[in-house]
Amino acid sequence: MTIIETKNLNLHYGDNHALINVSLSFMKNEITALIGPSGCGKSTFLRVLNRMNDIIKDVRIDGEVIFDGVNIYAPDIDPMRIRKNIGMVFQKPNPFPMSIYDNVAYAPRYHKVKKRAVLDEIVEKSLRKAALWEEVKDRLKKSALSLSGGQQQRLCIARAVALEPEILLLDEATSALDPISTFKIEDLIQDLKKTYTVIMVTHNMQQAARVSNKTAFFLLGDMLEFGDTEKIFGNPVNPKTQEYVSGRFG
């Protein structure tokens, strides 16, 4: 079942045509990897999916992004409602300078959850989903900045799932981490797809091949090829895809 799709999506940064007629469909409870060289539009595309580009000056978007049967760029759509249902984790861990507990409780409080018992339940549930609860359950009042880099990124995942979104966007979420932390996050992503649809940008070809069900290859703002990950890496149709996944450029 399709959970979100783009139709003839174009994005301009001023005079720069950064995304060109991108049409993609994402299936519920699948992991999709977006690959391609730096500057090809994959992170820009990811940010389109929860309207994070709205805050950038001189951005113009044409086409549609259909989620829950509506175009999220329609004039009457509240971007905050979209971001509640489509969470995002960024390249570098960015915990707030507050306690571990308050990091996870931040968004529920923003959305008017006040009861301590309810917040306690949300915090524990979210940290368990991020495979972090057992490591931090005895120091929830400690600063989130005291955690290791890998733990901080898992905390950011816990923060993103605290509102129980339907989709989780990961923008190179392991690129700043050591190999051990990276493998922990990859294992976590596999577990998260039982509950969420995961769309991830990665420069790591091995990671895309290991983790994802589907892969989309971007080049210079075009989405050149999309399909099962095994086919994209084993027998791609487009010669440019073959050159990229075999390491001949990028």
* Mean pLDDT, rounded, for 74-79: 93
Q: Each residue of 84-104: pLDDT tens digit?
A: 999 999 999 999 999 999 999
pLDDT above 90: residue 122:
yes
Q: Which CATH class is domain 2-94+161-245?
A: alpha beta
Q: Each residue of 123-179: pLDDT tens digit?
A: 999 999 999 999 999 999 999 999 999 999 999 999 999 999 999 999 999 998 999
pLDDT above 80: residue 250:
no
How far is it, in rounded angstroms, from Cα 41 to Cα 159? 26
Q: Is 188 exposed, middle or buried (0-12, 13-18, 19+ CB in 10 A)?
A: middle
Q: Each residue of 21-73: pLDDT tens digit?
A: 999 999 999 999 999 999 999 999 999 999 999 888 899 999 999 998 999 99
CA distances from 161 to 48, 80, 241 (A): 19, 15, 33
pLDDT above 90: residue 249:
no
Give just the sign of the alpha carbon dihedral 210, 84, 135, 181.
Answer: positive
CA distances from 23 to 5, 102, 180, 239 (A): 7, 39, 35, 20
